[in-house]
Amino acid sequence: MPASDLAIVILAAGQGTRMRSAKPKVLHELAGVPLIGHVLATARELDAAHTLAVVRHDRDAVAAAIAEHEPSAVIVDQDELPGTGRAVEVALDALPESFDGCVVVLSADVPLLDAATVQALLDAHRLAGNALTLLSAIFDEPTGFGRILRHEDGGFAGIVEQKDATDEQRAITEINAGVYVFDARALKSVIKGIGTENAQHEKYLTDAAAAIKATGAPIEAVPVADHWLVHGINDRVQLSQAALELNARIVRGWQLAGVTVHDPASTWIDLKARLAEDVELLPGARIKGSTVIERGAIIGPDTTLVDCEVGEDAVVKRADATLAMIGPRASVGPFAYLRPNTRVDEDGKIGTFVETKNAHIGAGSKVPHLSYVGDIEIGVGANIGAGTIVANYDGVNKHRTEVGSHVRTGSHNVFVAPVRIGDGAYTGAGTVVRKDVPAGALAINVAPQRNMSGWVEANRPGTAAAAAAAAAGEPEGQ
């Protein structure tokens, strides 16, 4: 059951101007999940009775993402009064008036913070009976962060924002991580009295700490050992730094779970991906979205899979695939492009420089070389000749092609859809298949070859070709 004495407030109202992007900052992604999605996942693990997200800039886009990742979250709109203090104030107003438990405040741009760390902060808060417990961290380069001020005995003295700090205070390396646990009654008693008399003319949440401290209520700042957990994202440099760190942790986790990763530095795995034991990832593998890879499959080098399913012992090398299903022991690549709704059954093959789309390749069937197959159903045990093109589009509509089982088609064929090639049929090289081919038939439509004797001598006199032909002695024409 959700903890009835716990409410979580997620601050997602900031403009994020330093990201320099048309996309809201909190919708930029890490490991396939938007920043706010990471924070919502942490909130979900804490199982609070109330989860509230405060929005303002790009309100509709951010609210839609919140609804997608955590439908139970309550959207709270911040008004024109700026500042984190005002954001928390409007969130408190959205809580039931009778709520008097713990209020956890998280930032939507701090994506690596895990639920275990927040839970430990909550436990410390409850155990000590604090009015406020907050996370801090030691940063070698603390510029831009609020600093934690301490008394000589190490006790919490206050928080000062970077722009309001003295030179001596700016030299402090312990920063405010922006993660708080408030006693709801203590917070409600001070939040409305916070002003905007500061360099930013904002209502700072950090001023709530000063106001609570002035009442004599206990406050504690708890340093977190792993500073990456409170790494905030303000620009694309910080985004890439966090992406590298998170990916390294994801890759290491899969290695410990039995996945072989040849080059962790060039391997990227999204959070939602699932890999079985004995999967092997070669350099340059990018496993994105909700891709699932079964035991013994080999992926890479230089392969991108997006929302794909890969069966046991399949091999996918130097390929790009999206929304594709690759069956057990199937082979894909090198240099193959699998577009959405491609399905390769067990022991099937999609080979070099082959593009597929909305295609089902049956068990044991092969499309080995230099082909485009789209909107097609291929039976079992068939072989599609090199250079085959499925002409599936008539300029207005797409049409489907059916190729039966154990069909053998020649090189350089064109299948003009809609058309069906029956089971066991053959087609000759260079054939343009415009009408159905019955089962067991051979389809050919190539004109007889004609050789014109003496053509080079007559039309290209004096060339190296003419000399070579003369030396070889031209055969009689046919």
Domains of the chain: 3-230 (3.90.550.10), 236-443 (2.160.10.10)
Q: What is the pLDDT of residues 232-290, one digit of tens each?
A: 999 999 999 999 999 999 999 999 999 999 999 999 999 999 999 999 999 999 999 99
Count CB-CB contacts under 10 A for residue 340.
14
CB 213 within 8 A of CB 130: no
* Helical pair 206-214 and 184-191, crossing angle rounded to 10 deg: 100
CB 135 within 8 A of CB 224: yes
Instruction: State mean pLDDT over 375-387.
Output: 98
Q: Which residues have CB under 8 Å from 229's CB, separation 6+?
A: 112, 113, 114, 117, 137
What pLDDT is attached to residue 478? Answer: 46
**Angle CA 350–352–370, to nearest 5:** 95
Query: What confidence tier does 16 reach under pLDDT thresholds 50, 70, 90?
Result: confident
- Known catalytic membership, residue 369: yes
Is the pLDDT assigned to residue 199 strictly greater than 90?
A: no
Q: pLDDT > 90: what percent of the chain?
A: 87
**Residue 285 to residues 175, 206, 260, 318, Cα–Cα distance (Å):** 37, 44, 12, 9
Average pLDDT of the chain to the nearest whole number: 94
pTM of the complete model beyond 0.95:
no
Is the pLDDT assigned to residue 303 strictly greater than 80?
A: yes
CB 406 within 8 A of CB 382: yes
Checking 396-403 for CB contacts under 8 A at 24+ apart, the result is 398/374, 399/375, 400/375, 400/376, 401/375, 401/376, 401/377, 402/376, 402/377, 403/376, 403/377, 403/378, 403/379
Phi, psi of 431 (to 5 degrees): -80, 135
Catalytic residue among 57, 262, 369, 399: 369
Chain position carrying tokens 């049956």? 362
CB 299 within 8 A of CB 312: no
Distance CA(396)–CA(407), nearest Å, equals 29
Q: Among 106-115, 154-163, 402-411, whose mean pLDDT is lowest?
A: 154-163
Q: What is the pLDDT of residues 22-52, one digit of tens each?
A: 999 999 999 999 999 999 999 999 999 999 9
* Helical pair 59-69 and 35-46, crossing angle rounded to 10 deg: 40
Is the pLDDT assigned to residue 419 strictly greater than 80?
A: yes
Q: What is the pLDDT of residues 92-120, one digit of tens each?
A: 999 998 999 999 999 999 999 999 999 99
CA 365 to chain centre: 32
What pLDDT is attached to residue 354? Answer: 98
Which of 429 and 144 is assigned the larger pLDDT? 429
Which of 444 and 163 is assigned the larger pLDDT? 444
CB 73 within 8 A of CB 152: no
What pLDDT is attached to residue 198? Answer: 72
Query: What confidence tier does 80 reach under pLDDT thresholds 50, 70, 90?
Result: confident
CB 20 within 8 A of CB 232: no
Distance CA(364)–CA(101), nearest Å, equals 62
What pLDDT is attached to residue 475? Answer: 58
What pLDDT is attached to residue 161? Answer: 84
